[in-house]
Structure 1
Amino acid sequence: MARYSNEHKEETRRRIIEAAGRRLKRDGIDGSGIAALMADAGLTNGAFYAHFGSKDDLVASVVQEELRRQSATLNGLAPGVAGVEQLVRGYLSPEHRDHRDEGCPSAALLDEIGRSAELTKDAYTAGTKNLVDELAERLSSPDDPESAHGRALILFTMMVGTLQLARAVTDPALSDEALAQGLDRALTFLGDATVADSSRNQTTGESR
């Protein structure tokens, strides 16, 4: 029997992770069995353990990849604060709310990740720290880089919480209102943070 090449094995692994990402975000971690996850990738259950040691291993790999892709999306947006605004507007949109399988892993899986194995929580922690750091870099001023990290963390938390609420309620009008209010508050927060940085920089420059 011919052995598959390392490239073929890696491509199959990527296909499983990509398909599992959509399924997990749509149906949840507990609601997605190995059989369904493998079927989505066009594979049998027997192939699972050739790529992953356990379901926890797969879930951690999915979380890692989903957050990596989210960072890549941010990096593809406009430079600086303008890109953060683009991210916020896309994140707090009806399209993102209505397509959870294609969206943010945090809004879709955060409650389950908190109850998952350490392997998954470690992958989520590393990916989220990286994403928040990238947001902070865009919001940072040379004179006060530490406060930018705090603002980035608050902004990310606002976005995730707003989307979770908008998805959880059954009243369409309330869901739309949650998105609209959340977007308005997030953009106001982003604008206030930018103005504060500009004022701080101007004051520092004048005092020199």
Structure 2
Amino acid sequence: MRKTPNIRTTAKEASHERIVSAAAKAIRRSGYDGTGVADIMKEAGLTHGAFYAHFASREAMLAEAADRAGAESNALAASVIAAVPPEQSLQALMQLYLSKEHLESIETGCPVSALGSEMPRQSPEVRRAATLRIKEMIDLVARQFPDWGQPGAHERALVTVATMVGTLMLARAVDDAALSDALCSASLKSLSLPKTESID
């Protein structure tokens, strides 16, 4: 006999969803160390005391938040790719990633560029969650190359992702708008240049 969903279980799942969603934004906005349990619970409309009904620890919440932030970012990238012809997909993705809109949307943008410098100091579970989403991002980029599946495509994807993330981190770090724009423009130009194949 199939059971109908328990109302209490459904409510708990909805509350859990609100906490993770709030935390995914908070880590990008304030950093891992700047994300407190009390603030997240308040933002989710729940009491501080309810936290341990959802998570074993603050680190467990941060790991889920890292996973959610990465999933959101990769889903957006996939939707951009799906909206254009295959030969334009990589260019469209790079242009969005290095756009002024993304640069100014740290709370809802790529968590790697928002949190990359903090990652080495996080717990293994947080780093594992973030790493899996980074690998997913690299694979998504690799699939846009005509020779996807070959070592060269994976290598170019590594360089492309590293360049995009590093550029956005620098562009956000500086207090000079012209330099910020120049960093994004130069990287976009460099990534867009046709790559010449080496001849053996």
- The alignment's TM-score, normalised by the length of structure 1, stands at 0.84
* 2:169 paired with 1:181: no
User: Displacement, 1:4?
Assistant: 5.0
Residues paired across the two proteins, number? 191
Q: Which amino acid aligns with 2:154?
A: H
Distance change in 2, residues 1:40/1:127 (3 Å): same
Q: Is residue 80–residue 139 contact of structure 1 (8 Å, CA) maintained in 2?
A: no
Q: Is residue 28–residue 111 contact of structure 2 (8 Å, CA) maintained in 1?
A: yes
Correspondence for 1:146: 151
Render the CA deviation track for 1:91-117: whole Å, top value 9, x for unaligned: 101111111001000000111122100
Q: Which amino acid aligns with 2:143?
A: E
Unpaired segments ≥5 residues, structure 1: 201-208
Q: Which amino acid aligns with 2:125?
A: L
Correspondence for 2:56: 53
* 2:40 paired with 1:37: yes
Q: Which amino acid aligns with 2:131?
A: T
Correspondence for 1:80: 86
The CA distance in 1 between the partners of 2:163 and 2:85, in whole Å, is 22
After TM superposition, the structure 1 stretch with the greater mean CA deviation from structure 2, 69-78 or 9-18, is 69-78
| Identity between Structure 1 and Structure 2 (%) | 36
Unpaired segments ≥5 residues, structure 2: 1-5
Q: Is residue 79–residue 138 contact of structure 1 (8 Å, CA) maintained in 2?
A: no
Q: Is residue 166–residue 178 contact of structure 1 (8 Å, CA) maintained in 2?
A: yes
Query: Equivalent residue of 1:139, what SS?
Result: coil
Query: Equivalent residue of 2:175, what SS?
Result: coil
Q: Which has the higher helix share?
A: 1
Which portions of structure 1, spanning 4 or more consecutive aligned residues, are displaced by more than 6 angstroms? none
- The alignment's TM-score, normalised by the length of structure 2, stands at 0.87
* 2:137 paired with 1:134: no
Which of 106, 111, 124 matches 2:117?
A: 111
The CA distance in 2 between the partners of 1:70 and 1:102, in whole Å, is 8
| RMSD across aligned positions (CA) | 2.0
Q: Is residue 25–residue 69 contact of structure 2 (8 Å, CA) maintained in 1?
A: no
